[in-house]
Chains A and B, each alone.
Chain A
Amino acid sequence: MADSITLRVTRYQPEVDDEPRAQDFDVPLRENWVVLDGLNYIKDRLDGTLSYRWSCRMGICGSCGMMVDGEPALTCATFLVDHAPGPIRVEPLANFPVVRDLVVDIGDFLEKLPRVSPWIVRDDDIPVDEGESLQTPEELADYKQYSMCINCMLCYSACPVYGLDPDFIGPAAIALAQRYNLDSRDDGAAKRLDVLIHPDGVWGCTFVGECTTACPKDVDPAGAIQRYKLTAAMETIKSYVSPGGGP
């Protein structure tokens, strides 16, 4: 095994660059090193001006997502040896505006997320002294998969529909809406329906399926969206059959 590998890192410094450029760095190729270790090595030893986001190093915080050799990935979970002999292209997440180097502007996602009310919505508040809201294992299984989302936005950078139309509310937001819609304690489905059947909601999705491929937590946003299309269609029919009810 070679003892070093080249990282071809995208640099963009808005005060001097008109557009992003690539810069090569040689970093040690160690069996247990991930791309993020390589970036940290660059930052510490080679070029302190390199900007990128990271925090937990263990696939939970969702902040170190980047394009590695053209695929969206958590850099803390992408081993250098799997991309040897290199050079490994490390680029900012696709489909987002680039603020500096590998840092993207996530404002759009943060604005979309609360639109689907990703929390338990109750018609009535259950007083704390009534104790826990119990769920059976089956009720938990209905939504558990969707609750694994870490908001890393890899699905957005994998989604061509979002790339073409930034108004599309996107995979993670819809999967999170489903996470609460399918929760037996939640009463917010009707509220979320209004957001999701909007033209910028589920109907823009053409089931490319790449969001599911990209997801590091097996959330399957693509499946969630198609399931929701069926729900939304049924609700629309219901609203015609029984006027006054439904959306």
Chain B
Amino acid sequence: MARGKKPNLAAKEEEILPYTQAYYTALPTGTIKWIRGCIVWQLIRFIVVNSRMISMIGKSHPHPHKPGVH
């Protein structure tokens, strides 16, 4: 991180050192971090994630088994 523009990465960037676990993981760019808090986009994601959860809940409803089958 010494050369060039310092990316807007971690809360404690000084701890992301080469050859440590933190160095090898994916980190969000500033754009992604901004999107995570963008009200308009997050309203859309609120609807999308809710829809996805409802779909998953629908598939997770207890399944009836005909009498004598269990």
- Same complex for A and B? Answer no
Binding site for B on A (CB under 8 A): none
